[in-house]
Amino acid sequence: MSKIFPPKADSPPVKKFSEGFLWGAATSAHQVEGNNHNDWTEWEVKNSKIKIQNAKLQKWPNYILQNYPNPLQEENYISGKACDHYNRYEEDFDLAKKMSNNAHRFSIEWSRVEPEEGKFDSEVIEHYRDVIRALRERGIEPFVTLWHWTNPVWVRDIGGWENPKTINYFLRYARKIVQSLDIKFWITINEPSVYAGASYLFGQFPPNVKSWMRSNRVLKNLFEAHCKCYDFLHEYYGNSIAVGLSHNLHYHRPRRKKNFLDWLAVFFVNYIRDTRQIRLTQGKEDFIGLNYYYLDMIQFVFGGGRFGIADVKNPNHWKSDMGWEIFPEGIYHVLKDLNKYNKPIYITENGLADANDINRGKFIQEHLQWILKAIGEGVDVRGYFHWSLLDNFEWDKGFWPRFGLVEIDYETLERKPRLSSKVYAEIAKANGINETTKVKEEK
């Protein structure tokens, strides 16, 4: 039933990526490890019933409802044992190696390392050393994220990232990790703007706050933590390492091409969501981590009691299972724009929810075509990490969105590489893209 778009076996790559280009997939601790205890796990239990009530109000396609767990089941909203990656990482890295991956991005779970304030768990640190060893044994370069959205419960109890004290606590934890793990590529924080927005502006993630001021405070603290962590990492390792941050950046387009107000709205949204983020790092990035997912069509609305900026969806657009508008060309525009910062760029996330694996192969190929076009025009892109290696716990949506190159059977925990993983493997192995998909020039 799955349909993929494999490159023709007999046509040689039209264009190669540079030698040493990094090919990988990304995960985050809370989404795959299982059996965590942090601010999310407590929130999940309290919220699962409300989530089901809300899910019942939506129309779900059968191919989602037939899966386990699905949006109408309580298990969907509780991370629980997740993929049990904490115990099965070797098996998972074997799959990454089979995909010809030479890099892997993952995160360290702060709540495991420091379950109580000031008490570090040496066994957990040893575990992450083993994880890194397992990657290196397979010729896979580790990219380590220090914080991917989850907090120890004691950090939540002091007010989380709203409290400036959390910056120092984070730095103490980061120092412990930095001194314990021998890593070249560090990502301090994942998508500060998404976290600050979802948790403190839109009230979607714990602690469900809806306040512009509080969200800004959190954003500021996260960026301050990043900058201080950047300095510490370089004091400790000198210039033998590279430190970055993963930014979620968007491609915004005006819905009406000839409407000045729509252009103005695009300019404003672009500044608030994207440009501001890079400015807040104050140049303390050795590379830019780019997480790119979808297209945002922006419209200025005025009239009928409405005034403001709207993100407009096009019902006929190519979409993922989560309704995100797939637009490979967007990554090219974002990359071209980032070029002005004159830094190497790693695509630290790019992917889609696609339970039937109908679109993933084509998605990967087309995004990579556009990345190649940007590289051809002088943008220094050095690696690509698909999101994600495995199906995983998609935060407040739970397990139903299937982002994995590898499918997880959540009952048996069996791993099944999807057909699209073969497309990705072929590209990584050839370090280039085959002729079947040509970059479409912008109209």
Residues lying near ligand BGC in the complex (CB under 6 A) = 28, 31, 190-191, 194, 248, 291, 349, 387, 394
Indicate the residue among 159 and 323 with the shorter CB distance to ligand BGC: 323
**Would you say 373 and 336 are in contact if contact means Cβ atoms under 8 Å apart?**
no
Indicate the residue among 285 and 426 with the shorter CB distance to ligand BGC: 285
* Residue recorded with tokens 């695509």: 347
Q: Which residues pair with 319 in a beta bridge?
A: 325
Least Å distance, CB 83 to ligand BGC, is 13
Indicate the residue among 134 and 194 with the shorter CB distance to ligand BGC: 194
Least Å distance, CB 26 to ligand BGC, is 8
Least Å distance, CB 295 to ligand BGC, is 15
Indicate the residue among 129 and 276 with the shorter CB distance to ligand BGC: 276
Indicate the residue among 364 and 372 with the shorter CB distance to ligand BGC: 364
Neighbour count for residue 347 (Cβ, 10 Å): 27
How many Å is the maximal CA-CA distance in the chain?
62
**Would you say 215 and 234 are in contact if contact means Cβ atoms under 8 Å apart?**
no
Neighbour count for residue 282 (Cβ, 10 Å): 12
Indicate the residue among 248 and 434 with the shorter CB distance to ligand BGC: 248
CA distance 260 to 100: 47
* CA neighbor of 233 nearest in space, from 165, 166, 179: 179
Least Å distance, CB 392 to ligand BGC, is 7
Least Å distance, CB 330 to ligand BGC, is 15
**Would you say 418 and 2 are in contact if contact means Cβ atoms under 8 Å apart?**
yes
The two three-digit tokens of residue 310, written as one number: 């709207």
Least Å distance, CB 252 to ligand BGC, is 17
* CA neighbor of 293 nearest in space, from 249, 338, 247: 249
Q: In terms of C-beta distances under 8 Å and separation of at least 24 residues, what long-range contacts does 47-55 make, across chains too?
A: 47/77, 47/396, 48/74, 48/76, 48/77, 48/78, 49/74, 51/76, 51/77, 51/396, 51/398, 52/77
CA distance 93 to 415: 12
**CA torsion through residues 156, 158, 163, 167, sign:** negative
CA distance 44 to 49: 9
Indicate the residue among 31 and 359 with the shorter CB distance to ligand BGC: 31
Indicate the residue among 31 and 67 with the shorter CB distance to ligand BGC: 31
Least Å distance, CB 92 to ligand BGC, is 16
Least Å distance, CB 322 to ligand BGC, is 8
* CA neighbor of 335 nearest in space, from 384, 272, 298: 384
Indicate the residue among 93 and 147 with the shorter CB distance to ligand BGC: 147
Least Å distance, CB 115 to ligand BGC, is 22
